[in-house]
A and B are shown apart, each in its own frame.
Chain A
Amino acid sequence: MDFKRIENLLNKYFEAETSIAEENELRIFFSNNKDIPENLIFAKSIFKAFNEEKSIKFHKKIHLPKRNIKRYIYITGIAASLIISMFVIFPKMDTKRNKIIYAYYNGQAITDKAIAEKYTKQALFAVAQNFNNGTKNLNKLSQFNKSELLIKTKENEK
């Protein structure tokens, strides 16, 4: 065996100047050879330790937490219902925060008091007018009854 060469390689190794091929050569040398000169025996234990460390493997099973689908659905459900209820509540809150919506004209919000007032007047006036038109005729009817009564009482007087 070329112990001289091994010694040189070892020196190089400790200077961290060896190549991967040379390191492999050292490793093979120390694991295969049993009769190693005394001046090199210290290195054997080092390479032995390296080999042992290399062979250690992790055998335990790792239990990664599974994604809880049920819970996931549950949470998204709550989130969705919150969003939906926001859409229901928000327009009402909005009117309080910003401008008060007095009316909608063809779906467009009207915040002008005067315009909304005009529509209210028109609507109530139209209802009132037509309502009166109807009840006016009822008044005529009651007057008819009065005149009829008058005729009857006059007839009785005769």
Chain B
Amino acid sequence: MRSKILIAIMLIPFLTMAQETPANSFFNKHSGEKGYTSVHITQYMFDLFSKISNEKEEKDFKEVTSNLTSIKILTVDSSFYVNSDTKFEKEILSTLPESIYKELMIIKEGRETIKFLINEKGKRISEFIMIVYGTPEPVLIYLEGDITLRQVSKLSKTMNVKGFEHLDKIRE
């Protein structure tokens, strides 16, 4: 009995770590690998965004970022492209099961393909994924948190109009 409790206690840290989605494990697998560049933005960044002034135009931006827990970006270096692009494409499409990730939108422009995938939990999106492949620099952008589609489209509208200009205001 004692030993069972003991084992249970020892397993706690592993169980808390084990909550990993396929997209997350894909990111972790290639993070730091040769030919890949990974960026992981933590919640502290979004906490910072939430402290900025409450101007009307920044509202949408804040609304989305306050609900994010992390942004992960994974790119394949163009110098590494020749033999890795098809590999990247195949691997990412096979590691993200259709049962979890629903295709939201697929855009094809020439050889380039952009896929938006979402992992829905109820009405909320817990994972929002954008994959770009068929280009010299394939990209995976992966938003984690508690998002709604309305927020995403709102964000993309404000970003489109203001672009980087709008974001420059964030500086403290």
Does the CB pair A101–B156 fall under 8 Å? Answer: no
Question: In the docked arrangement, what's the CA distance between A131 and B143, Å?
Answer: 14
Does the CB pair A131–B116 fall under 8 Å? Answer: yes
Does the CB pair A134–B37 fall under 8 Å? Answer: no
Does the CB pair B39–A128 fall under 8 Å? Answer: no
Q: What chain A residues lie within 8 Å of B2 (beta carbons)?
A: 70, 74
Closest-by-CB residue of A relative to B106 is: A134
- Find the residue from A80, A100, A103, A119 having the highest chain B CB count within 10 A: A103
Please report which residues of chain B, range 11-34, place their CB below 8 angstroms from some CB of chain A when the two chains form the complex: 12-13, 16-17, 31-32
Q: What chain B residues lie within 8 Å of A134 (beta carbons)?
A: 105, 107, 114, 116
Q: What 1/0 mask marks residues of chain A from 97 to 139 whose CB sits below 8 Å from any chain B CB?
A: 0001111111100000110110111111111111111110000
A81 on the interface (CB 8 Å rule)? Answer: yes
Does the CB pair A131–B152 fall under 8 Å? Answer: yes
Q: What chain B residues lie within 8 Å of A105 (beta carbons)?
A: 37-39
Give chain B's interface residue range (CB within 8 Å of chain A).
35 or more
Question: In the docked arrangement, what's the CA distance between A114 and B110, Å?
Answer: 35
Q: What chain A residues lie within 8 Å of B40 (beta carbons)?
A: 103-104
B99 on the interface (CB 8 Å rule)? Answer: no
Question: By DSSP majority rule, is chain A's interface helix, strand, loop, or mixed?
Answer: helix
Q: What chain B residues lie within 8 Å of A116 (beta carbons)?
A: 41, 45
Q: What chain A residues lie within 8 Å of B114 (beta carbons)?
A: 130, 133-134
Question: In the docked arrangement, what's the CA distance between A122 and B152, Å?
Answer: 15
Please give the distance in Å from B9's CB to the nearest CB on chain A: 5
- Find the residue from A84, A116, A126, A127 having the highest chain B CB count within 10 A: A127
Question: In the docked arrangement, what's the CA distance between A78 and B32, Å?
Answer: 34
Contacts A74-B2, A124-B159, A132-B160 known; A104 to B116 CB distance under 8 Å? no
Does the CB pair B170–A117 fall under 8 Å? Answer: yes
Interface residue ranges, A against B (CB under 8 Å): 70, 73-74, 77-78, 80-81, 84-85, 87-88, 95, 100-107, 113-114, 116-117, 119-135
